[in-house]
Amino acid sequence: MRNYHLDVRPIAGSMGAEIHGVDLSETLDHDSFGAINDVLLDHGAIFFRDQEITPAQQMAFAKHWGKIHLHPHMPCLPDHPGIIEIVKKEEDTVVFGGNWHTDQMFTSTPARVTMLYAKQVPAAGGDTMFANLYQAYDALSDGMKAMIEPLHTISQYDKKKKRPAAMTPTDIDVPAPEAEHPLVRVHPETGRKALYVSSAAITRRIAGMTEAESQPILSYLVNHATRPEFTCRFRWEVGSLAVWDNRRALHYPINDYNGHRRVMHRITVEGERTL
């Protein structure tokens, strides 16, 4: 792994690392970005502290990974297409994306990476958890691996799920399409196998099965993938920025800060077709 001058500090045994010594308001050269991406591929999620960046600078950083993914159902900032402002107000009791999931799995080209930048956070609470889908796959029995290897899943965006008022889908009356993906996904950059599954709110069933038949298998796999030894937990501060690889990680926003306001700016980068 190239690391140049990067100061990389793992935050847990399973995955996740903070990178120090990088100012994201400055333009990154090819080698510097390559070093950062190497750390992301190694650790699954990377975190930067004390960043003061504009939406344009955040967007420029995200574009190093590829084409910006425009969420098919959620509005973006008026002057910055591709940046979703995620707001949980003091009176809100639910969070956006409040389940274990990988982003945009409900599309044919799910997200490669997600970038989240903290604008306003509560004094305590609102952490995000991540789960290592490489380790989750590796820990399965040979029998389970053989059973799930050929399976595909069907995912669909749940527009009726309760969410903060500021995060209401723009086209709630239009049926969301379905997307099919392999249940075991080979990472296109590392070649490693990973479970590729989200909670029941997104991954609805196994192709060729009913939801009732599918859910015992899918629920087991999500519960298995999110065992404590496969996870890390990130504590947000104003100016913190996270980037995670959706092709090998689940994430979960912890909703433990009712009565407090939280504002985040999110960008997702379009990934590869899985089929």
Active site residue 192: no
Contact 203, 217 (CB under 8 A): no
Active site residue 42: no
Least Cα distance to 115 among 103, 99, 131 occurs for 103
Q: Which residue among the candidates 103, 163, 248, 262 is catalytic per the annotation?
A: 103
Active site residue 266: yes
Q: Which residue among the candidates 247, 248, 251, 265 is catalytic per the annotation?
A: 251
DSSP β-ladder status, 111-120 and 262-270: antiparallel
Helix (H) or strand (E) holding 69: strand 68-69
Q: Which residue among the candidates 101, 112, 163, 265 is catalytic per the annotation?
A: 101
What does the alpha-carbon distance between residue 134 and residue 247 come to, in Å, rounded to a whole number? 10
Active site residue 152: no
Return the beta strands (E) in the chain as ranges: 7-10, 17-20, 45-48, 68-69, 84-88, 111-120, 128-132, 152-156, 178-182, 184-186, 193-195, 203-206, 231-234, 241-245, 249-253, 262-270
Catalytic residue positions, numbered: 101, 103, 251, 266
